[in-house]
Every structure is written in C-alpha cells, then in structure tokens.
A = this chain, B = another copy of it.
C-alpha cells in the first residue's frame, strides 16, 4: 500500500494573530522554521491546533504562499484543506498541490451531522477528481471530538481502493487506541499518523508513519528522539516524558494554553492571542500552565 512520503514528527503549527486578529505571518514563518530546526520532520499548517477553520480560504492561501516563498520546503508541508464547502476544499487542495506540498490533511465536510459514508466518500472523491493532479497525496483527518463527522474503517478502505497512490494516509485524532490500532493493522503500509502523542510509540511499533500533535509546538525534540530511536532502550522513557505535557493544561483550551507557553518562552505576549471563538487564558491560568510546564524535565529540551 502506498503510504506517501511524509513520515516522522509533525506539528500542526500554532497560528499567531496580530491585534486585528489577522494571521501574523512573520511570527508564523519564524515559528515554522524553529520547529523544523528543532525536532519536526514536517508541519501541518492549518490543522485544528492552527485554528484553521477560523480563517478564510483567502487568508490561508495567502499565508501558505508566503511560508513557501520564505523558503520553508513545501515537500515537508501537509496543510489542512478540508472545509464544509466542497468548492473551498477543492480550492485549498489544488493550491497546496500547486505549491508542491508533500500532502494535504483533509477534514470531511463537518457541518451536517449523521451523513452517510456514501456522502463523505462522494465529497472526498469529488475533491480528488476536481483537483485532478497526480501529485495529490491525501491524508484523511479523523477527529471526531471536533468534526463529529468521521472516517469509518470501511470508508477508508473504499477510498484507498478507488484512489490508490492518492489517498495515502490518515491522521487519527480520535483519542481511541482501538480505532488507531484497527487502522494500523487493517492498512499496513498506510501513512498512519497518531493525533494523540500518547500513542506515538505504539503507532511506530505497528508500522505507522509518525505523529501530528499539538504538543509538538513545544516539545518536538523529545518526540523526535522517540521517533528516531523507538526500538532503543529509552523509548518507553521518552514516551513517558511526552505524556507528562498534556495534563499541565487539563481543563483549558489546548490551543490557548500552548500559545501561552510559547508567549512565555519567546517573551512575546502577542503570541497569546487567539481568534474567536477561542479565548486566551487569563493571566493566572497562563501563569499556572507555564509554571507546571517549567517543572517538567522535558521543558529543558523544548522546541521554542
């Protein structure tokens, strides 16, 4: 099975915004470069952690062009392109392919709930047909907690069968090991990324492609050590260290909390801004999250 060319530790890049809530492209490019220099094999601009769906298609296209124009290699990028509207997904996907992106991360259309596998199949198939480019590599984005609309295993199989070499992987952000295990065992060689950092070691042991996690925005280096040496004696230790991060922001928005951590270490309060409907952490909460993070051993080898 064709699993695409993308492997390793990927960050769904946090998207800084300026005081008018526009994408702060300069800070964004700098953060992208920092991550690629510090543990990330690639980036997913405009994933869930990136507040992707809070930005218009034009805003996303413009930013992505500036990112590649600044020298970030498109081959290492897997931008999110899935929208509610078929035509928006087509436009973003065609644009990413045109830039030479290594893949795209495709949400199913997420407004209508309870739609059939047939309907989701037609959505993805229609995008692939309209983009009509052999270079397209689609990674399906399964994230039931936010999208609610899902990629079932049978639907994945149908898409892979009908579009081999194009539908090459998946990001499973279900948080459900049984589902991820089902994908890894049913589709060997598929480009399967875990959306939950806690499953990285297990994913690699079963032949998965890597991880795409929010926490990579701050702790990509230790994730990279695990990815590079998952068969080594320290693998369990690396995984345990990775697992310590998420509890520090339990009860808060992961995105707002991670932006607070970045703002702290960059000594740049602007980094804490989010676009509505998200809300930045208040000062006390931000301090609490930062303090908890600073106490973790992994804070010493952070990405930022």
Identify the A interface with B (CB < 8 A). Answer: 21, 48, 53-57, 59, 83-88, 91, 108-113, 115-116, 118-120, 122-123, 126, 145-149, 275-279
Contacts and interface: CB of A to CB of B under 8 A. Distances in A.
A87 B56 contact: yes
A148 B149 contact: no
Copies of the protein in its oligomer: 2
A146 B112 CA distance: 6
B56 A112 contact: no
A143 to B, nearest CB: 10
B276 A54 contact: no
Interface SS of chain A: helix, strand, loop or mixed?
loop
B88 A56 contact: yes
Contacts of A145: 113
Contact of A54 (B55, B109, B113): B109
A57 B118 CA distance: 25
Given A109-B54, A111-B53, A122 B86 contact: no
B146 A276 contact: no
Contact of A115 (B108, B109, B113, B277): B277
A22 B119 CA distance: 17
A95 to B, nearest CB: 13
A91 B56 contact: yes
A228 B175 CA distance: 52
8 contacts: A48-B112, A54-B109, A83-B84, A108-B277, A111-B146, A112-B278, A115-B277, A119-B276
B113 A148 contact: yes
Given A113-B145, A120-B277, A123-B276, A59 B84 contact: no
A15 to B, nearest CB: 12
A277 B122 contact: yes
Contacts of A85: 53-56, 59
A31 B122 CA distance: 27
